[in-house]
Amino acid sequence: MTVHVTGLGTYLPEATMTGAEIAERSGIPEAVVTEKMGVRRKYVCPPDGDHPSEMCVTAAEAALRDAGPDDSALPTTALDAVRYHGSEFKDYVVWNAAAAVAHKLGADGAAATESYALCAGLPVAMREAKALLDADPGIDSLLLVAASREEDLVDYDDPDTSFMFTFGSGATAFVLERDAPGRALARVRESATLTDGSFAEDVVVPVGGTRRPPSEETVTDGGHSLRVRDHERMKRRLAEVSLPNFRRVADDALARSGYDRGDIDFAAITHMKRSFHESLSDDLGLTDDEQRYLDEFGHVQSCDQGLALDTVRHDLTDGDVVLCLAAGTGYTWAATVLEWCS
């Protein structure tokens, strides 16, 4: 049994925020924002629209059009499952966004569930989706959707969270199908995941959960933003382990798929500061044409890989090896290998 990606769709809000605007709002020099942090522009949502489920629906509609035969879209009634792997900051708290997306699409017969690995979400979701299609003969087609507007949770007055000033908004969607070579964009190969839970509480929204429920006081104190409990400690510890852990999951996913670093034709990598992206690319032996730095999007949580792929998909050729490589606070590193088919 082979799992194919047959459709890819993306959505970006209309409004943008430039590196110059981030610099003005945060007090950080523009050159630092655009060159070191690596954001020339990012997309942002209005307060009263572009909610995560809405963005997912639009991206999903594009993916279904992409997956359909000839000029017709894959019907939503063909979907056996819808899985959301985007941000937990959604339209509502304690809420199944996948169910809402499935209903809005008209895929009411699809099982709708969610999976979270923060910014490492896409490779983890690909791995789970492939396993689900392999294990359940009743599932032939599956929709993966993700969205993020965590930019809403960023406090530009908190220098300890400056790496979050890159956070942007948007959505991606992938259609995965069992044995669909005639319409395939890519074949899903193997994955690898590594988690270091000692980072689990380094980045949190400190209020709103069971440890400190929301109240008038938490709102007044501005507690409902992302915070870093010990910025210097987290930065120091990540510097020690991040490159080796990226290397490990990349090598494991490639080896399980029958490849090594020299076989990579393109790597879709999570947005990170420019210097680390360049170090990671050099470590993997990637040329400028074999990766895409997302400085025109910023960091859109687990949507980064889909956005990167969408920008280069027409340059990929049959048989190209694509590495989806991601990391997310928690801290999880993950990779999935795709073999391009078109």
> How many Å apart are CA 305 and CA 324, to the nearest integer?
6
> What is the mean predicted confidence (pLDDT) over 23-50?
96
> Tens digit of pLDDT for each residue in 11-23?
999 999 999 999 9
Going by pLDDT thresholds of 50, 70 and 90, the confidence category of residue 167 is very high
pLDDT at 342 over 80: no
pLDDT at residue 7 in the model: 97
Whole-number average pLDDT of the chain = 96
| CATH number, domain 188-340, options 3.30.70.890, 3.30.565.10, 3.90.1300.10, 3.40.47.10 | 3.40.47.10
Q: Which of 36-40, 46-50, 216-220 has the highest mean pLDDT?
A: 36-40
pLDDT at residue 71 in the model: 81
> How many Å apart are CA 328 and CA 36, to the nearest integer?
20
For domain 3-185, the question of CATH label 2.70.150.10 is answered with: no
Query: Considering only CA atoms, which of 86, 115, 116, 126 is closest in space to residue 4?
Result: 126
Structure tokens at 290: 């074999």
> Tens digit of pLDDT for each residue in 237-259?
999 999 999 999 999 999 999 99
Give CATH 3.40.47.10 domain extents, the chain.
Answer: 3-185, 188-340
> What is the mean predicted confidence (pLDDT) over 158-167?
95
pTM: 0.96
pLDDT at residue 69 in the model: 87
> What is the mean predicted confidence (pLDDT) over 190-219?
95
CB 42 within 8 A of CB 167: yes
- Helices 97-105/52-67 angle, 10° precision: 50
> What is the mean predicted confidence (pLDDT) over 86-98?
97
